[in-house]
Structure formats: C-alpha cells, structure tokens
Structure 1
Amino acid sequence: MKDKVTFITGSAKRIGAHTAKYLHSLGSNIVIHFDKSKSEAEALSQQLNKIRPNSTALVQGSLSDINAVEAIGQQAIDAFGRLDVLINNASSFYPTPIGSISTDDWHSLVGSNMQGPLFLSQYCANTLALNNGVIINMVDIHAARPLKNHTLYCMAKSALVTMTQSLAIELAPKIRVNGVAPGAILWPETQLKEEDKQQILEQIPAQRLGQMQDIAHAIGFLVEATYVTGQIIAVDGGRSLSSNTKG
C-alpha cells in the first residue's frame, strides 16, 4: 500500500473511518469523503496527518446527487494526482415499509447504495486502470436474504452485488472489482430494542458482534489479492449460513 492512494466514500466515521486508519497504517495516502460529517472528517484527517504529514485529503459532497458525483470523483483524483483504490463505502440505511416509501427514500437509499457507486466507479475507471487499480464495494448479507421492512435498501444492495460482478468482467484485466458483505458489526445508529439485538446475536454462529477491524482486514486482503475479482466476501460470523435471518 505504500505511496498508493485510496479513496473511501463515507469515511468520516464508523467502519469507513476505521478502514481509513488501517489502510493508512499500511502506507496508503487516504482521500476522506464526507457529506454532512465535516467535523469528524477534519478530526480524522488531522489525526492521520500527525502520523504521516500530508497523507490525507478531504472531499465533500452527496453521492445521492447524481450531478455531484463526477465533481467528487475529480476532486479525489486531483488530491494526489493518482488513484489506486476506490472503496464505495457510503451508505444510507433505514426502514421503508411498503406504503411509506417516498421518492426521497429512493434518492437516499438507491442514490447512496447503488447509483453513487456505479457512476463514481465509471468516472474513476480510467484513472484506476493506469495503476491496475481496485474497486471494493461495501454490500450487505441482506442483499441475498432481505430484511423485513427494508425492501428499498435490500434492492439497492442487491443491485450493488450484481454491479460488482458485472464490472469485474467489464473492467478486467486492468481493474479488479470485489465486495465485502458485513454482517452485524455495529448496531445501526437508529435505536434497536434489546430483544431485537439478542435475536440477531442468536442467528450468528460466532455468537457475537464482529469488529470494525474484521472489515478493514478483509478490505486489505482484497486490495492485495491480485488474482481475486468478482467476489463477495461475507464478514458476518457465519450469519448468512443461518436459516433464520429476519432481524
């Protein structure tokens, strides 16, 4: 990863920020993207730049706004003059029961989880190809096993899985494209009842939440695994093997 440039969308906090720290520790320069989490993004940038000066850059913008995607991509490319790794991590997640779905929900959930990654990957492809680059998409185990009341989110993530596999064929051999499908790593920022949390844990053979480092390690592996493309790695403690994944 030394001297490479990694662009991580939605990397101001949570898994995106942790992944940024991990790949930075391996030597990569990091382009930190954020939409509304400006203070968190600036704090992360300052933290990493103290470790290695001038090793981060900040890019702001909404990936749900299709008219903003190309500008976001260009800023990321311009930050260090090259791009080696694109991690499509930014994601909206919240329930949309049938009967309540609005066009705003469509723009937020489809925009961040499928539309943004597609058009950002398309825009960055030529630059990534110059360096035998890598695209890693953050998908979800619920792309294959839908989560109740989350139809729109699951649809978008399912499309992202198909996009990952299709682009792996179309962009080969210059660019590898893979996906990581997290299970229960962090509880959603929306409130969950304790009984709901317990129900989820009972579905996991490992019987515990995963750690953000588990996702970062999987991403690090995919960046370096030069003969792996078109694959989705489930990092879920075995939850996707369970016959009961309602929660």
Structure 2
Amino acid sequence: MFRKTALVTGGARRVGAAIVRSFAARGYNVVLHHGNSPEEANALAAELEAEYQVRVVVVQEDLVDSSAPARVVQAAISAFDALDVVVSSASVMEWRDFESVTPDDWARTEAINLRAPFFLMQAAARAMNEGGVIIQIADHLANETGFPRLIPHQVTKSALHQLVRTVADRLAPRIRVNAVSPGLVLAPSDLGDAAAAAFMRDVPLARSGSPDDVIQAIHYLVDATYVTGTVLSVDGGRHLRR
C-alpha cells in the first residue's frame, strides 16, 4: 500500500504531538522530530504504529545546530525515499524582561524560530517532488504589541510570516508554502487564570481554541491546491482587534 510521508518538527509534545497523530490517523508515514524529548517521542511513535499500522520514525536533532534541518530531511528520505508534507512546528518561547535578554537568548530563539525553518524549507525543496507542501507554525503574537517579555519570540515569528510569503513565491508552482498562526490553543502552564481571562477579552469568539483547530487548518492547507503564500489565522478572531 502506498503511503505519503509527513515530517513534523517539534512533534513529541503539545500541539506538535497532536499534529503527528493527525497525519498517522490519515494514513501517512511520519518522521517525528524532537529536540530533547526522547521518552515522549518514542512512546508516541510506538502508540501510533500500533493504532494506525503506519511507520513513525523518530529523529532527535537540536535545531540550534545550523546543519540539523538538513539532517532531519535526510533522515526522512533515508527512511521513506519520499517526502510529501513538512510541518515546521518546533519553536521556543522564553519569557524575558527587556533588560535581561542576552545575546545567547536571542541567538537561540532566532535559530529555532527562524533560521531552522528556512533551512528546513531549503532542504525539503531539494527533496520534494512536484506537489509538495510545507507548512510553518507561526504565532498570532507576531502581529501584536503589549508583550514586552517576549520580544525575541515576537520578532522571529513576525519575520517568519515574511519568510513564508517569500519562499512560497520562490518555490511555486512546484511546492506550496503556507503558515498557520494559532492563538491561545494550549495555554502555557505559567500563564495564570487572570492573564488568560484578560487575553480572552480580545477574542471575538470568546473562547480559547484547541489543537484540533490547528490540525483542521493544517489539513485544509495540505488539501487546498490553489493556496500558497498564506498565513492562516486560527485565533478566534483576535487579530481583528489588535
């Protein structure tokens, strides 16, 4: 039986793990990349292989290493000889006061949130056949102000929006490139009830989302063959009020 292959970075935990599960449920073989979550990654891979009778290959790479994205793509090609979908979900969001951000903080955030997605797309473009799909997981915070403790994160995610548009134009028509920009779909453990409630006051749909909302957007973009260069907001309409 022919199966397509999906590569998901940051696929061991939280939304990334839900994305991996969604592709396995649709019959894809999956390359599950993680940075430092071997127990979660291996357990998820074993579970999905048993449940869906697909292959899930686990790849551990630190995306701070500039050569890691190419190795992740090569692992996918070595395992499956093909690559149909790439979802770049790995990200870092570290809360730092403006005065306390260090060059190392900035370099790590830029490496994972921006440099790695670019070189992942570059390597994937070399490996993919016509009809390949690349999806970046962006962030609604890219277009907001009022989060001064997340400056490196916001700046790199904002740049990622532009990167998607630029690379989509470069790779068309052979490969489509889009992004999903989630709002509050899984609250950070340290957000707190008061902060979450304040955040929700600017969400027109008046509720938080879920990983399923992100997954639906991803699979829409996988199937939508006339869509490229789009950043799809999945934030309950919050972008309308920011």
- Give the TM-score category using the shorter length: over 0.9
Alpha-carbon distance, 1:73 to partner: 2.1
**Superposed CA offset, 1:168-209 (max 9, x none):** 1000110000000000001114x1232111101111111111
2:51 partner letter:
I
More helix by share: 2
- Summarize the alignment of residues 203-214 of structure 1 with structure 2, pairs less than 5 Å apart: 203-214=202-213
Q: Does 1:21 align with 2:15?
A: no
Aligned partner of residue 8 in structure 1, secondary structure: strand
Alpha-carbon distance, 1:139 to partner: 0.5
Unaligned runs of 5+ residues in structure 2 are none
What residue is the counterpart of 1:225 in the other structure?
224
Q: 1:6–1:30: 8 Å Cα contact kept in structure 2?
A: yes
Q: 2:6–2:86: 8 Å Cα contact kept in structure 1?
A: yes
What is the RMSD computed on CA atoms of the aligned residues? 1.3
2:193 partner letter:
E
Q: 1:84–1:133: 8 Å Cα contact kept in structure 2?
A: yes
TM-score (normalizing by structure 1): 0.93
2:92 partner letter:
S
Alpha-carbon distance, 1:111 to partner: 1.0
User: Sequence identity of aligned pairs in percent?
Assistant: 36
What residue is the counterpart of 1:50 in the other structure?
50
Aligned partner of residue 107 in structure 1, secondary structure: helix
- Summarize the alignment of residues 15-94 of structure 1 with structure 2, pairs less than 5 Å apart: 15-94=15-94
1:33 and 1:198 map into 2 onto residues whose CA distance is 33
- Summarize the alignment of residues 1-247 of structure 1 with structure 2, pairs less than 5 Å apart: 3-128=3-128, 130-146=129-145, 147-189=147-189, 191-243=190-242
Q: 2:27–2:52: 8 Å Cα contact kept in structure 1?
A: no
**Superposed CA offset, 1:76-125 (max 9, x none):** 22121110111110000122322211122123211111010001111111
Unaligned runs of 5+ residues in structure 1 are none
Q: 1:83–1:131: 8 Å Cα contact kept in structure 2?
A: no
2:55 and 2:69 map into 1 onto residues whose CA distance is 23
Range moving further from structure 2, 54-63 or 143-152 = 143-152
2:187 and 2:208 map into 1 onto residues whose CA distance is 9
Aligned residues: 240
- Taking a change above 3 Å as real, the CA distance of residues 78 and 131 of structure 1, as seen in their structure-2 partners, is farther
Q: 2:63–2:112: 8 Å Cα contact kept in structure 1?
A: yes
1:171 and 1:67 map into 2 onto residues whose CA distance is 21
1:54 and 1:198 map into 2 onto residues whose CA distance is 41
Alpha-carbon distance, 1:54 to partner: 4.7
1:242 and 1:157 map into 2 onto residues whose CA distance is 19
1:25 and 1:69 map into 2 onto residues whose CA distance is 25
1:35 partner letter:
G
Q: 1:6–1:85: 8 Å Cα contact kept in structure 2?
A: yes
TM-score (normalizing by structure 2): 0.95
Alpha-carbon distance, 1:52 to partner: 3.2
Q: 1:134–1:177: 8 Å Cα contact kept in structure 2?
A: yes
Alpha-carbon distance, 1:225 to partner: 0.5
1:64 and 1:222 map into 2 onto residues whose CA distance is 28
1:156 and 1:163 map into 2 onto residues whose CA distance is 10
Alpha-carbon distance, 1:143 to partner: 1.1
1:153 and 1:120 map into 2 onto residues whose CA distance is 19
1:220 and 1:193 map into 2 onto residues whose CA distance is 31
